[in-house]
Amino acid sequence: MVTNRAAEDTLDVEDAERIRLLEQCELHRMDAELLFDRIGLEHGWAALDLGCGPLGVLDILAERVGSSGAVVGLDRDSRMLEAAAASLPARGLPGVALLRGEATATGLPGHSFDLVHERLLLSDIRRAADAVAEMIRLARPGGYVALQDKDVISWTCEPSHPAWDRLKAAVVAVADGDPYIGRRLPGLLRDAGLVDVEVDVHAHLWRPTESYRTVLLRLAAMNRDRILAAGALTGSELDECLRDLEAHLASPDTIVLCWTLFQAWGRRPLSA
Ligand SMILES: C[S@@+](CC[C@H](N)C(=O)[O-])C[C@H]1O[C@@H](n2cnc3c(N)ncnc32)[C@H](O)[C@@H]1O
């Protein structure tokens, strides 16, 4: 895994985004394992990871369902799927089916999966409720729909810094989806008719050695054009914020708290 900033500077935006998402998989790996323990994911299940990116939870699902189960990963971005196709066999997991498609209209047959899962997709898209409806359509009666998504309420640093506040506000303002969606996940499932809905949350510190500590800098740089077009910051203000915050985050005395990862899961009623 590449975490070196200088190395990233030589990569294009898509490469840098794939690397960021693979780091994110490691960050939330234990949270995902706990979620699947609580759901009781077993050998033989058919599972779908919607918006799987370059890995998502495909490796965890494939290990858990084994050769008698089936795992499908779906994403709209073919470069993400190419990365997944390259990495899964290298992890000893060749049997995952990868499909290009749209989360709100997958074209897959209904009632096909024991578990339909998404992580950090709903916060990335405008039509989150439509994606949830599609997930429920794909679950078999009695099957599970599981959502893992962020709520940036806890994404902060201590001591606070004006550059953090300005950059976080700028990144949040240009997001396609709702960066505070985490708290809404159980309500989305209940409103769509799921039963036995449960919720949990996870929070993490980013320590000085962890590259995700500076993810706000990377997201602000990746979204530079959108931030400038939105008019919240000028180019020189953005550069100054990036410089100031990089120095602040470099101090081992600065605490950086991750966004809150909400998990909500429930079952499609047997009669539906
Ligand atoms: C933030 S990434 C999360 C990736 C992965 N789920 C994980 O947790 O590492 C969001 C992913 O959703 C995909 N995506 C965004 N909008 C989508 C849509 N409307 N339909 C399908 N995939 C979509 C993106 O291409 C990207 O791979």
Q: Report all structural domains of the chain as residue ranges with CATH numbers, in order of start.
A: 5-267 (3.40.50.150)
Question: Where does the pLDDT of residue 93 fall: very low under 50, low under 70, confident under 90, or very high at 90 and above?
Answer: confident
Whole-number average pLDDT of the chain:
93
Task: Give residue 102 CA to ligand 1 midpoint distance, Å.
Answer: 10
Name the residue with the closest Cα to ligand 1, atom 1: 120
pLDDT digits (tens, 9 = 90+) for 207-257: 888 888 999 999 999 999 999 999 989 999 999 999 999 999 999 999 999
Residues with Cβ < 8 Å from 109, sequence gap 6 or more?
none
Dihedral in degrees, nearest 10, Cα atoms 19, 87, 29, 116: 110
Query: Tell me, what's the pLDDT at 9?
Result: 44
Query: Tell me, what's the pLDDT at 123?
Result: 96
Query: Tell me, what's the pLDDT at 84?
Result: 93
pLDDT digits (tens, 9 = 90+) for 122-135: 999 999 999 999 99
Residues with CB under 6 A from ligand 1: 21, 24-25, 51-53, 56, 75-77, 80, 102-103, 119-121, 124-125
Task: Give residue 158 CA to ligand 1 midpoint distance, Å.
Answer: 30
Distance CA 259, CA 272 (A): 35
Specify the ligand 1 atom closest to the Cα of 103.
20
Name the residue with the closest Cα to ligand 1, atom 14: 51
Specify the ligand 1 atom closest to the Cα of 75.
22
Q: What is the DSSP letter of 51?
A: T
Contact 117, 49 (CB under 8 A): yes
For the entire predicted model, the pTM comes to 0.92
Q: How far is CA 235 from CA 215, 216, 256, in A?
A: 19, 17, 25
Name the residue with the closest Cα to ligand 1, atom 25: 77
pLDDT exceeds 90 at position 202: yes
Q: Give the residue among 138, 116, 114 at the shortest CA–CA distance from 46.
A: 114
